[in-house]
Amino acid sequence: MICYVLSDTTIEKCLETVRRNRQWIDACELRLDFLDSENRKKASEFPSLVDIPVILTHRRKQDGGQYTGSEKQRRAELIEALDGNFAYVDLEEDMKKNELDNKAKERGIKIIRSYHNFECIPDDIYAKVSQLKKRGDVAKVAVTPNSIQDVITLFNAETELSGIDKIIIGMGAFGTPTRILYRRTGSILTFCSETETAPGQLSAKKLSEIYHANEINERTAIYGIIGNPVLHSASPQIHNPAFRAIKFNAVYVPFLVDSVRHFFFLAEMLKMRGFSVTIPHKIEVLSYLGDITREVKQIGSCNTVVRKPGLWKGSNTDYYGFLNPIENDIEEGRIKSALVIGAGGASQAIIWALRNRNVKVTILNRTISKAETLAKNNMCKADTLDNANKYKGKVDLIVQTTSVGLGEDVSPIPSFEFTGNEICYDIIYKPRMTKFLKDAKEKGCKLHFGDEMLFEQGKLQFEAFTGYHYPKQIIPEI
């Protein structure tokens, strides 16, 4: 089930929220701790007003809720609410068995015994789940993974705790895959909300329409994107609708990855078919590949990994994705020289692509040694960002490849004076109009955006993943 967590202050607002999200959800959780005192008294009426199962919860502040009153009052409000036809009631692990348990059993309401940890995953998490199950019908743990190795622990719950009705939730950025692939942890449901009531919650619409979380089964092919950061990525919006369009049973999921080595263990556990690679793993991933394409050998970085019999194969679609929007300008002689800002993994494919088209390239980077190494390998020039303005009027193309401008309104070359004749290209796609492009636009420069490159390289990745062309009718929301 996809279960919506209701965080409204009145019953009427909760009903409106259910109606607004009904097409995407299978259950909801009524949170007494969010309701005002008057509406808590009406809580027993709520289950009869909706057509889906309802979980009753009254969460204390220490467990991530809003309730700060006395424990005696909280229990009294829960007991009163249990007059309603709730499907489940959520009781924390330290709540001793009392009249609440008895009333729930009398009413045929299943008990969820829950444990919350907003800092880490306890070493004894599997034992914790087993203990919780002994005291209720369903065991629930909402914990905070701090590494991809922690994520492995959560996905391993499916086999370690088979046969136990459970809810396994990884909160925060590392835990996002566990919310989408909740069935692969053995969970009976996943939680969602429009307003985040716990770290890392996704919206009901996103879980249902982008990821089709409820339709994921043991035959679903799992693909993804690894990076750090990664949750901002629009790649799921490119791949998942296209899988759907060609009736391909697959899902594409973002994975925040701190260790490439440990991610490959997770990829094997989930039997992943392939994944995209973004900053900062495009070079490190090479050590774990059994085969690479000519482009990867030449560029020295990889953005696409596909499972082949007995090995992982790496390729690089950034090369073609970058070139596609400016191909005509190169062929018709409008681009003969270029400045490339940045010397990281993202810049390598771009520099190699330009040099392969006989474009003269100068690499600008804050650390000159990195730029010089890259320049030597690609037979081009290197300089520091501080010297950017000396290239005023001397280049046809300027490409911005750094993370500067991602989430903040700054430019990597704030003092550069555009003439209006430059073609300016920023590979950042959120925000679409970066400070670098704003400055270029003010001078009348022709612009190219990161979403152009993202979509073009994504279409090539889709073909590598599935063997099918990207469906023409799909125009992703990037």
DSSP reduced 3-state for 448: strand
Please give the CATH number for the structural domain made up of 225-319+456-466: 3.40.50.10860
Determine the Cα–Cα distance for residues 389 and 367; give it in Å rounded to an integer: 17
Within 10 angstroms of residue 26's Cβ, the number of other Cβ atoms is 15
Burial 141-150 (b: 16+ CB within 10 A, else e): bbbbbbbbbb
pLDDT of residue 192: 97
Active-site hit among 282, 313, 435, 459:
282
Examine the residue annotation and report whether 282 is marked as an active-site residue of this protein: yes
Give this prediction's pTM.
0.92
End-to-end CA distance of the chain: 28
Residue bearing the bigger pLDDT, 431 or 149? 149
State percent of the chain over pLDDT 90: 92
Q: Which of 30, 34, 65, 23 is nearest to 47 (CA)?
A: 30
Q: What's the DSSP call for residue 187?
A: B
pLDDT digits (tens, 9 = 90+) for 188-199: 999 999 988 888
Which tokens in the block code for residue 104? 């729930």
pLDDT of residue 344: 84
State percent of the chain over pLDDT 70: 100
CATH level 2 (architecture), domain 327-453: 3-Layer(aba) Sandwich (3.40)
pLDDT digits (tens, 9 = 90+) for 157-176: 999 999 999 999 999 999 99
CATH level 2 (architecture), domain 2-220: Alpha-Beta Barrel (3.20)
Within 10 angstroms of residue 171's Cβ, the number of other Cβ atoms is 22
Determine the Cα–Cα distance for residues 135 and 168; give it in Å rounded to an integer: 17
Average pLDDT over residues 73-101: 94
Q: Which of 267, 343, 243 is nearest to 235 (CA)?
A: 243
Each domain of the chain, given as residue ranges in start order, spans: 2-220, 225-319+456-466, 327-453
Residue 229, preceding peptide bond in cis (omega within 30° of 0)? yes
Which tokens in the block code for residue 456? 């073009």
Asked if 225-319+456-466 and 327-453 have one fold, the answer is yes
H helix runs in 93-224, sequence order: 99-107, 125-134, 148-155, 157-160, 176-180, 204-205
Determine the Cα–Cα distance for residues 376 and 147; give it in Å rounded to an integer: 36
pLDDT digits (tens, 9 = 90+) for 352-394: 999 999 999 999 999 999 999 999 999 999 999 999 999 999 9
